[in-house]
Chain A
Amino acid sequence: MEAVFTFHNAGEAIGGERRLLEGGVKVKVMPLPASLGAGCGLCLRVAPGDLDASLGLLRAADISPQGLYLRGVEGGQTVYTPL
């Protein structure tokens, strides 16, 4: 289970990754799943335990995520549940 941040554009996703890494959060990049939006954007994954710290770091950097989801697997399929 992971928390997934989506962003308004790739620049915010990359800037967000940079801020989270600087803040000591173990963040991973992945392509934006088609079920979460059109286009070929990037989104960020963090451990659920790092969610609050990540939100704080992003807000402090003036980056507002477009969406926030919990990524899990149900019946062998990856599902994204809005948070």
Chain B
Amino acid sequence: MTILDMTGQPCPRPVIEAKKALGAARPGETVSVLVDNDIARQNLQKMAEGLGHEFSHERRGDGLILAGIKVAGGGRPARDNGAGLVVAIGRDCLGGANEELGKSLMKSFIFSLTELEPPPAHILFFNGGVWLSTAGSAALDDLASLAGKGSRIASCGACLNYFKLTDKLAVGQVTNMFDIVSTMAQAGRLINL
């Protein structure tokens, strides 16, 4: 069994390399990936499960995490996690002429997403958009409601880090640009704000 050693590799390299290996693997085959942090493990899990593969992992005695991704039968992903509506939000203000109006409009926009049927498949936050998914945001209740309806909510880890908000993420998961681009590229419909 081949093990991809991704210890010491920066985000999103483990996901990129694992995805390449999965592309070359046969149905039923397991691709193993060794990583040294839990965020990398989470990103691998999101990617694998999003593509319909089986995911498992174990924390070894040396502290490293060995992830196993078993390729879905038939050689094709069991489902496409990008299908449906994807909403990508890069700021906490809707429109640019007036910031106060824009912030109210953004809250109104996110509330309106809760009324959509079906709800968006993915809501992605990056750059200033991460202020909406973190503690203190007035949109948290609506985002939690969307998560409860099945929307996947994800915020850019680099952006959370830049704004010193990593510990304040209040809804959804941390993600990376590889996942954001991949999700946008596979979207059935995309709203990019």
Contacts and interface: CB of A to CB of B under 8 A. Distances in A.
Q: How large is the interface on A (under 10, 10 to 19, 20 to 34, 35 or more residues)?
A: 10 to 19
Q: Give the dominant DSSP class at B's interface.
A: helix
A29 B112 contact: no
Interface string A41-79: 010000000000000000000000000000000000000
B17 to A, nearest CB: 43
B141 A29 contact: no
A30 B105 CA distance: 8
A8 interface: no
B101 A29 contact: no
B135 interface: no
A14 B107 CA distance: 11
B138 A29 contact: yes
Contacts of B9: none
A13 B101 CA distance: 10
A14 B104 contact: yes
A40 to B, nearest CB: 10
Contacts of B108: 29-31, 42
B112 A31 contact: yes
B100 interface: yes
A36 interface: no
B100 A29 contact: no
A77 B186 CA distance: 33
Interface in B99-115: 100-101, 104-105, 107-108, 111-112
B111 A30 contact: yes
Most-contacted residue by chain B among A14, A17, A27, A29 (CB, 10 A): A29
A8 B107 CA distance: 19
Contacts of A42: 104-105, 108
A29 B138 CA distance: 9
Given A28-B111, A29-B108, A30-B112, A10 B138 contact: no
B111 A10 contact: no
Top 8 nearest A-B pairs (CB, nearest first) are A29-B107, A30-B111, A29-B108, A29-B104, A31-B108, A14-B104, A30-B108, A42-B108
Given A28-B138, A30-B108, A30-B111, 18 more contacts: A10-B101, A13-B104, A14-B100, A14-B104, A27-B138, A28-B107, A28-B141, A29-B104, A29-B107, A29-B108, A29-B138, A30-B107, A31-B108, A31-B111, A31-B112, A42-B104, A42-B105, A42-B108
